[in-house]
Amino acid sequence: MMVESDAMSPRAWRTPDYEAARWLGEQVPLAEGVSLEMANAPQAVVLLSGGLDSATTLAIAKSQGFAVHALTIRYGQRHDVEIDAARRVAGDVGVAGHLVVGIDPRLLGGSALTDDLDVPKGRSAHEMSQGIPVTYVPARNTIFLSFALGWAEALGSADIFIGVNAIDYSGYPDCRPEYIDAYQRMANLATKSAVEGAQRVTIHTPLIEMTKARIIRKGLELGVNYALTRSCYDPNDEGLACGQCDACLLRLKGFAENGLTDPVPYQQQKSTSG
């Protein structure tokens, strides 16, 4: 594992004096760039891919009063343009820290997102709902949540947010509510902080029952700038979205159902009906 960008280390945004001063009820000195509000807020780790769903999840976590620590994982996905999007979104929303962590892509091979396999194009909603798509990445959410769980415990946080959705991507086994429930139970057996009773881990999935159109409405209410996000499974060398993969079609449909135009640039667009 390789840490590619610096984030503030656990509690580094509270100076040692901060804890002492808070204990004594004195004026609180804070690390540079950290507001008192952020230092006093409960902390959460949010998995941030740079796509539409995770950007909305980040905004929801923040709107619920959490100081958010964004975690982006580089796993050899073809759409590396997402990593840049994650950095822009984290900067725009305003986070307490952002880690971009790389894992060896050979660990997650065999997917159209990581290997030299064709990304399916122009599929209907019915086709998308049939079976587990080739864009499935082996055990991805289990691996990602485990990274988030470790970071959360180190931060003294028990709240993890992930933007999984069981409506649009019903084919992915690691996006289902029963999977999230099982993971949460495991997390509460697996961590010192939970076993010693300090805090119970909660895996928050605010988007799990939302349609793409509703996710977009919620995000716009919270001020998410969707022009900064990237969702395409197969962008070209300039980073332009293909307009035809499952992720593009769902996204375009979601904006269209709100009577809006997706603000990100596309190479070409197909009909979003069906």
Q: Which stretch binds Zn ion (CB under 5 A): 15-23, 29-37, 186-194, 237-245?
A: 237-245
149 binds Zn ion, rule: CB under 5 A: no
CB contact at 8 A, 46 and 70: yes
Question: What span, in angstroms and rounded, lies between the C-alpha atoms of 272 and 252?
Answer: 6
Strands 67-74 and 159-161 come out as unpaired
Task: Give which of 132, 101, 115, 59 is closest to 233, Cα–Cα.
Answer: 115
The packing angle between helices 212-221 and 246-257, to 10°, is 60
Q: Residues 58, 242, 252, 264: which binds Zn ion (CB under 5 A)?
A: 242
Between 63 and 124, whose beta carbon lies closer to Zn ion?
Answer: 124
For the bound state, the minimum distance from the C-beta of residue 230 to Zn ion, rounded and expressed in Å, comes to: 9
113 binds Zn ion, rule: CB under 5 A: no
Reported as type and span, the H/E element at residue 56 is helix 52-63
Number of residues near Zn ion (by CB under 5 A): 5
For the bound state, the minimum distance from the C-beta of residue 114 to Zn ion, rounded and expressed in Å, comes to: 16
Contacts 24+ apart (CB under 8 A), 263-268: 263/226, 263/227, 264/226, 264/227, 264/229, 264/230, 264/231, 265/240, 265/241, 266/240, 266/241, 266/242, 267/236, 267/240, 267/241, 267/242, 267/243, 268/242, 268/243, 268/244
Q: Which stretch binds Zn ion (CB under 5 A): 2-10, 135-143, 210-218, 235-243?
A: 235-243
Q: Residues 245, 250, 252, 264: which binds Zn ion (CB under 5 A)?
A: 245
Q: Which stretch binds Zn ion (CB under 5 A): 136-144, 206-214, 233-241, 261-269?
A: 233-241
Q: 144: helix, coil or strand?
A: helix
46 binds Zn ion, rule: CB under 5 A: no
248 binds Zn ion, rule: CB under 5 A: yes
For the bound state, the minimum distance from the C-beta of residue 123 to Zn ion, rounded and expressed in Å, comes to: 11
For the bound state, the minimum distance from the C-beta of residue 195 to Zn ion, rounded and expressed in Å, comes to: 43
For the bound state, the minimum distance from the C-beta of residue 239 to Zn ion, rounded and expressed in Å, comes to: 11
Between 148 and 232, whose beta carbon lies closer to Zn ion?
Answer: 232
52 binds Zn ion, rule: CB under 5 A: no
The per-residue DSSP string of 199-243 comes to ---EEE-TTTT--HHHHHHHHHHTT--GGG----SS--TT--B-S
Helices (H) and strands (E) in the chain, counts: 10, 6
Q: Which stretch binds Zn ion (CB under 5 A): 68-76, 123-131, 167-175, 230-238?
A: 230-238
For the bound state, the minimum distance from the C-beta of residue 249 to Zn ion, rounded and expressed in Å, comes to: 8
Between 199 and 267, whose beta carbon lies closer to Zn ion?
Answer: 267
Q: Show the tokens assigned to 60.
A: 């929801």
Q: Residues 232, 250, 252, 264: which binds Zn ion (CB under 5 A)?
A: 232
48 binds Zn ion, rule: CB under 5 A: no
Contacting residues toward Zn ion, per CB under 5 A? 232, 241-242, 245, 248
